[in-house]
Each structure stands twice: as C-alpha cells, then as structure tokens.
Amino acid sequence: MTEQANSSMPVENQSPGPSDHQSDEDLRIHIDDSATSPTLLFLATSMVWLIIGSLFGVVVALKFSLPDWLGSVPALTFGRLRPAHLNTVVFGFVSLAGAGMVIWLTGRLCRTHIRWTGLLYISVIIWNLGLLLGTALVLAGYSEGMEWLEFPLIAVVPVALGFVLFAASILKTFANRSVEHIYISLWYILASLVWFPILYVIGNGRFYQGVSQAAMNWWFAHNLLTVWVTPLGLAGAYYFIPKVIGRPIYSYYLGLLGFWSFALFYNWNGLHHLVGGPVPTWAVSISIVASLLMFIPVITVAVNHHMTAFGNLKLVRYSPTLRFVVFGAMSYTVVSLQGSLEATRTMQEIVHFTHYTVGHAHLGVYSFASMILFGAMYYILPRIAKWEWPYPALIKVHFWLTAVGVLLYFVAMEVGGWLQGMAMVNGAVPFIDSVIVTRPWLWGRSIGGVMMTIGNILFAYHFALVVYRAGPIRFAPGWVRKAEGQTS
C-alpha cells in the first residue's frame, strides 16, 4: 500500500502490521463462510427462475411474429405466458439473486457473520414454493389480471413471508455490526427492506376496484422498480465498482445526496403510467414532476459511478464483475433519464400503449439490474464456493450475448414502438397499419431475446460448474488458497 493511500485510511485501519494483514483476511473469509450456504441457496434457485423466465419470454416474443404458435395449449397462450414471464423474472430471478447478493454484502459491509441463518433457509424454501405455486396458477388461468400483481393470494402469502424472514436476518446482522459507519450500499439495502414489504402488502390488498385499482396497480408496479429492483442494483454498483477497481467512490457527499433525493422523489412516479386515464389530473401531474426531479439522484449516481470508473476502464478486460456492473451502471443512467422524459405528456402522446414502454422496462430490469446482479455473482460465487470460474471464454460469450442481445432488443422495441405510436396518433392511418409497421422490429425483439436466453443458459451452466467444483483447475487467487488452508 502506498504511503498516500495509508494516510487516508480510516483511523481504525491505520498502520496495519503483519498480524493485521492476517486478521483482515481471516475475518473476510470467516464472514464469507457464514454467508456461504444461504447465499448459495438464494443464488442457485435464482438461476432456475432465470432459465424458466427467459424461456417464457422468448416464447412470448415469438408469438408476436407467429401468433398461432402454441395457441391451442391454454397454458401457453400469450395472456398466461406473459404474466408468468414477468413474475418469474422479477420475483424469481432478480429478487432471489438480489437477496443472495444482499446477504453476502451485508456480512462484508457490517464486518460480522450473518445472523439467524435458519430464517434464511426457511425463507428461501417458502419464497420458492410461493413462486412455484403462483406461476402454476397463472399458467392454469387463475391470474389476478393486474400487472406484476397476477399471483393469487395463496401464492403471495409465502413470498411475502419469505421476504419478511429474509429481512429479519439482514436487520439482525446489521444490528450486530462491528463498524460504526454505514456504507452507501447499506443505505439502499436497509431502505429496500423497509419499503418493499409495505409496497407488497398494500399492493396485494384485494379491496380496490375500477379506477382506484388502476391507480394502485401502477403505484405498485412502478414502485416495485423503485423500492426493490433499483436499490439492489445501486447497492451492488456502489460496492463492486470501487472494490474491484481498488479506488474509493468518487464523491461520498454525492452518494448520500443521491440516496436521499432518490428516497424523496422516486416513490411518487407511478401514476405517470396513467397519463390520459380517468384519474385526477393533479395526481398525474405530481407524478410527472417527480419523474423529472429524478434527474437529481440519477445524475449524482451517474457522476459518482462514471468518475470512479474513469481512467480504470481497462480493468474490464480482466474483471467480469466490472464488465457487467459498469454496463449495468451505464444502463441505469440511460434508462432513468429516458424514463423521466417518457413520463411527460408530450412523449406519452406517442409512446403510450406501444412497444416503446416494454423496451424501456427491459432496459431497466435486464440491462441495468440483471447485468449488475450477474457481475455481483461473478465476484461472490468463487469466494463462497472456493472455486474459480473454470472457463474464461464462457464468461466473455455470456457478456457479449447478453449485452448485444439486450441492446438489440431495446433498439428494436424503441424504434418499432415509436413508429407504432406515430401511426396510432395519425387519424388518417388505419389501426392495422400501426400493427404491421412493427413486424420487422418484433423479429429484432425475438432475436435479442433468444441471444439473452442463450447467454443466461450458458451462465447457469457455468454457475453449476463452480458450485460442483467441476471443470478445469485454474490458477487460483490468494484468497482461494488461503481459504483452502494452503500456503501461498
């Protein structure tokens, strides 16, 4: 460590001697070990939902170009497969992988072992049972018919209970932390643990009808990204970018400004989905104003992440984590600024009810959140499985398939959706022409979806190899040899 770096370390970490080196590494391995089993269970089950959700998505995408395909099987019709795709991807892959990342990160950031791991085992079991039941019921035709609220109550309860048990373990670990300072990632994690249960329980209340149901639906659907998916992504980015590069975050002041402005503005955004709908204009206007105010936290986060990575981007050549997380962080900036502009009435006039919105949603959930979660798993898994990723080439193929796939999907949907919207607002154009104009772009959607799915399957295969400690033995970093009790 350089003298300059040493002088800027926190008081408790100054002047480390040989024994401190020993204890820091031992502590890190001890903490990682305490998180191993629960983290692995959450991450491994998320892989299953990633594959299931991706296959659902590909079939859904192909149905736009081949509308009769699988149309005779009720469970595989568009109206059932699409909600199954949404729920398995968001509550299955993103949520379970995010929870796995949170368990591991909480131990690292609180510098203590994970508490109440028994609750985490129960959590992962009932969470998955709820997902299985909910998906089966949706495919069987028992959907509740509201976006991201399709699961019947019997499936919602175990998912909610699973989340509460997970949150209890994380909060207990936090309460026993051995560090005084709360790192930015922990702010996002702790906030999401409080926000998400409130949202999930209120959103799944079955006492709304008509217009109020629509208002509640979009308050819920947008806030699902606000209070759960986005904090997961940002918590990961704030940890992994500086940690992998070995450089502190550019501005801690901006980081906290970003968090508190995020908390203040983002949860008002949902009703911009109802522009032109039968809800009070003032409610929609407030939502649009809040959407534009999101420029503040988004720009602070963007400046922080990009300035931290600036000058160190060559490291993406060696680090899969940095490669995926930087891609995700850049996508966050794009999707958030796009979302703010998309909320305005001027844009909504064109893009409402078009594929444009679906492209935007995929940029958020896949290009931002999922890519950061992939990056997090590339970092976490070898450290808990004590086995390095065996095939570097497979990592590169995974990255390029998913990155190019999601960009192709995004561009196809935005262009196709815009042309669709322009045709829909033109009274002289027959409605069917607004459908026909999208046809080539919907093939782009399917090809992008297939690329992402192949990438996801390869990643799941590679993930399984690490878990089973299979594949070629690679030269291992020092922490693997240390954890295995070997001398370096």
Partner 1 sequence: MSLFPVAVIIVAVALVAGALALAAFFWALRTGQFSVRHMNEGALTIFDSTEPVGMPTDQTLQTPQEHPDDRTGKQLNAR
CB of 437 to partner 1, least distance (A): 36
Q: Which is nearer to partner 1, 5 or 425 (CB)?
A: 5
- Using CA atoms, how far apart are residues 164 and 345, in angstroms rounded to an integer? 38
- Using CA atoms, how far apart are residues 299 and 170, in angstroms rounded to an integer? 29
Q: Which is nearer to partner 1, 280 or 440 (CB)?
A: 280
According to CB under 8 A, which one of 75, 118, 252, 349 is a site residue for partner 1? 252
Burial (Cβ within 10 Å: 0-12, 13-18, ≥19) of residue 286: middle
Q: Which residue has the tokens 């999401």?
A: 192
Q: Which is nearer to partner 1, 113 or 247 (CB)?
A: 247
**Nearest Cα to Cα of residue 50 among 374, 303, 302:** 374
Stretch near partner 1 under the rule CB under 8 A, chosen from 112-120, 141-149, 248-256, 286-294? 248-256
CB of 249 to partner 1, least distance (A): 5
What is the pattern of x (binds partner 1, CB under 8 A) and - over residues 389-428?
x--x--xx--------------------------------
What is the pattern of x (binds partner 1, CB under 8 A) and - over residues 86-125?
----------------------xx----------------
Stretch near partner 1 under the rule CB under 8 A, chosen from 10-18, 140-148, 284-292, 345-353? 10-18
CB of 483 to partner 1, least distance (A): 9
Q: Which 139-168 positions form the footprint of partner 1 (CB under 8 A)?
A: none
Q: Which is nearer to partner 1, 345 or 396 (CB)?
A: 396
- Using CA atoms, how far apart are residues 38 and 406, in angstroms rounded to an integer? 30
User: What tokens does 214 get?
Assistant: 């629509």
CB of 486 to partner 1, least distance (A): 8
- How many residues bind partner 1 (CB under 8 A)? The answer is 87
According to CB under 8 A, which one of 88, 135, 169, 319 is a site residue for partner 1? 319
**Helix segments in 225-313, DSSP class H:** 230-245, 252-265, 281-293, 295-309
Q: Which 28-57 positions form the footprint of partner 1 (CB under 8 A)?
A: 28
Query: Contact, 84 vs 56, CB < 8 A?
Result: yes
- Using CA atoms, how far apart are residues 191 and 170, in angstroms rounded to an integer? 12
Q: Which 186-245 positions form the footprint of partner 1 (CB under 8 A)?
A: 190-191, 194-195, 198, 202, 205, 207-213, 215-216, 219, 239, 242-245
Query: Contact, 273 vs 215, CB < 8 A?
Result: no
- Using CA atoms, how far apart are residues 55 and 61, in angstroms rounded to an integer? 10
According to CB under 8 A, which one of 16, 152, 197, 277 is a site residue for partner 1? 16
Query: Could you tell me the CA-to-CA distances from 183 to 166, 186, 198, 236, 255 in Å, in that order?
Result: 20, 5, 24, 12, 10
CB of 435 to partner 1, least distance (A): 32
CB of 262 to partner 1, least distance (A): 11
Q: Which 454-483 positions form the footprint of partner 1 (CB under 8 A)?
A: 469, 473-478, 480-481
What is the pattern of x (binds partner 1, CB under 8 A) and - over residues 256-275?
x---x--x---x--------
Q: Which 370-389 positions form the footprint of partner 1 (CB under 8 A)?
A: 378-379, 382, 386-389
Q: Which is nearer to partner 1, 321 or 420 (CB)?
A: 321
**Nearest Cα to Cα of residue 399 among 315, 320, 465:** 320
- Give the CA radius of gyration of the chain: 23
CB of 426 to partner 1, least distance (A): 33
- Using CA atoms, how far apart are residues 366 and 406, in angstroms rounded to an integer? 7
Stretch near partner 1 under the rule CB under 8 A, chosen from 61-69, 140-148, 254-262, 360-368? 254-262
Q: Which is nearer to partner 1, 133 or 215 (CB)?
A: 215
- 24-46 burial, b at 16+ Cβ within 10 Å, e below that, comes to eeeebbebbbbbbbbbbbbbbbb
User: What tokens does 396 get?
Assistant: 């590169």
User: What tokens does 106 get?
Assistant: 């909480």
69 is a site residue for partner 1 (CB under 8 A): no
Q: Concatenated DSSP letters for 323-350?
A: HHHHHHHHHHHHHHHHHHHHTSHHHHHH
282 is a site residue for partner 1 (CB under 8 A): no
Q: Concatenated DSSP letters for 53-84?
A: HHHHHHHHHHHHHSTTTTTTSGGGSHHHHHHH
320 is a site residue for partner 1 (CB under 8 A): yes
3 state DSSP class of 356: helix
Stretch near partner 1 under the rule CB under 8 A, chosen from 21-29, 140-148, 289-297, 355-363? 21-29
From the CB of residue 267, how many other CB atoms can be counted at a distance below 10 Å? Answer: 16
